[in-house]
Amino acid sequence: MTNTKPLRAPDLPAMKSRGEKIVMLTAYDATMAHLLDQAGADVLLVGDSLGMVILGGADTLEVTMDDMIRHTRAVQRGTRRALVVADMPFMSYQASMEDAIRNAGRLLQEGGAMAVKLEGGAPMIATIERLVSLGIPVVGHLGLTPQSVHRMGGFKRQATTVEAGRQLLEDAVAIERAGAFAIVLECIPAELAREASARLHIPVIGIGSGADCDGQVLVSYDLLGLTSSAPPFAKRKANLDQIVVEAVRKFAEEVRAAGSA
């Protein structure tokens, strides 16, 4: 990797305007953050997917501010170049503006994040505006928003009707106007993500939303083959699960053989 200058929030829209694609991966600890950063990931997202990937939950709803702060600090310690973005967990920003400001501030101050990501469209516009005005860079998130899993009735593809697509584009434009510097579009039709990428000046980072976005994000454990239930769009680039099992088997054999000698 040649460019080692640390990336900051304004660099992402600049990358879009230069036609450079943005690589975002989730990270939850310092060791993995160090490897992903070394490999050239542009953005490390401390996703609240940690509730599923790391804590083994069925969804992201149990993740707390304390969880996010601890994991964000670990990721920040392992990172030199990538921009570290922390997810605002469920109910840390929805109930009041005061909650949103205090908790976003904690992610920067105590966690060392350089930006926060929050889910939702129209109801979140005032919050995004306020956080940005206070100096906190914000990434939006529309489409499949995992914190609304119960309203959606499961982790399902979103914006599949003309009306829902129109609403999503309207929300995406409003998020850009509110001052967000990037937006994640999760599990929406590829044509809709392409249209959003063309219409917005800020980068659209897609996940399960086709190739025509300004960047892509994946859960790193899915990419590396550490999870057994990755979504179909998360193509494995390695089978680390097999490597781990094999290494532990070899170690166990050695230990047991020595014990029986």
Measured at CB, which residue is nearest to ligand KIV?
Answer: 47
41 or 242: CB nearest ligand KIV? 41
Find the shortest distance in angstroms from Cβ 207 to ligand KIV: 5
131 or 219: CB nearest ligand KIV? 219
42 or 186: CB nearest ligand KIV? 186
Pick the catalytic residue from 186, 195, 246, 253: 186
User: How long, in residues, is the chain?
Assistant: 261
The full DSSP string for the chain is: ----SPP-TTHHHHHHHTT--EEEEE--SHHHHHHHHHTT-SEEEE-TTHHHHTT--SSSTT--HHHHHHHHHHHHHH-SSSEEEEEPPTTSSSS-HHHHHHHHHHHHHTT--SEEE---SGGGHHHHHHHHHTT--EEEEEES-GGGHHHHTSS-----SHHHHHHHHHHHHHHHHHT-SEEEEES--HHHHHHHHHH-SSPEEEESS-S-SSEEEE-HHHHTT--SS--TTS--S--HHHHHHHHHHHHHHHHHHHHH-
Find the shortest distance in angstroms from Cβ 16 to ligand KIV: 18
Find the shortest distance in angstroms from Cβ 233 to ligand KIV: 11
131 or 218: CB nearest ligand KIV? 218
Q: What is the contact surface with ligand KIV in residues (CB under 6 A)? A: 26, 45, 47-49, 87, 184, 186, 207, 217, 219
Dihedrals phi, psi of 183, to nearest 5 degrees: -145, 135
Find the shortest distance in angstroms from Cβ 26 to ligand KIV: 4
Find the shortest distance in angstroms from Cβ 30 to ligand KIV: 18
49 or 127: CB nearest ligand KIV? 49
Q: Determine whether 186 is an active site residue.
A: yes
Enumerate the active-site residues.
186
